[in-house]
Structures are given as structure tokens and as C-alpha cells.
Amino acid sequence: MIALPLIESCDDCGRCCLHLDTPPFHERERNSLPAELLAQIEAVEAGQTSPDENGGPCLWFDPATKRCRHYDIRPDACRYFPLGGEDCRRLRQEGDAEERRRGR
């Protein structure tokens, strides 16, 4: 059995943010958002502004820092996404493969 490396940080990654166009809030969470941020999310959902053709990155993702612009009020789905879990590793692996294809 191959030992997988420990993933201890989300720093310099953000791959889980690249496949969503808006933060994945549950309705109860959305009700507590500041009006300005809720309006941005609703504009994307209504097709008034558009993410890229792949459905992402998330509206709140900052590609320069590879961090969430509103980390303190991120949705529960993001807050509890298991760091180093199966989905985390899969997204990192897919992203690494894509970077290799692009020659980065």
C-alpha cells in the first residue's frame, strides 16, 4: 500500500473553488449574508453576470491569492470540506494533471 502524503493546508491550492460558480450556501445560510454579497450571488444565478464556461471559479475565489475573499463567512459546505479527504485529493490530482498538460 502506498502512503499518501499528508495534506495539512489549503494554502496555494483553491482547487475545490474552481468548479463552482457561486458559494454553495443553504437557504438558511443565505439569509444571514450581507445584502451586497447576496446580490452578487443572485446576479450570477440569474445569468446577469457569468463565470467562465466551466462553471467556475467561485465568485468569491481570488485567483491571485488562491483564497476565499470572504473566508470568515464561507458556507458550511466549504467550512467542513474535508481537507485531505477523498474529494480534496481527487481535485488536487486533477488540477496537477491539468497543469502538467499545460506545461506549468
- The three-state DSSP-derived secondary structure of the chain is CCCCCCCCCCCCCCHHHCCCCCCCCCHHHHCCCCHHHHHHHHHHHCCCCCCCCCCCCCCCEECCCCEECCHHHCCHHHHCCCCCCHHHHHHHHHHHHHHHHHCC
For residue 3, tell me if it sits in a domain.
no
Stronger pLDDT, 6 or 59, i.e. the higher one: 59
For 28-68, what is each residue's pLDDT tens digit?
889 899 999 999 999 888 887 765 655 679 999 999 999 99
pTM over 0.75: yes
For residue 1, tell me if it sits in a domain.
no
| Structural domain total, the chain | 1
Average pLDDT of every residue of the chain: 86
Q: Which domain holds residue 51?
A: 15-102
Nearest alpha carbon to residue 49 among 58, 37, 40? 40
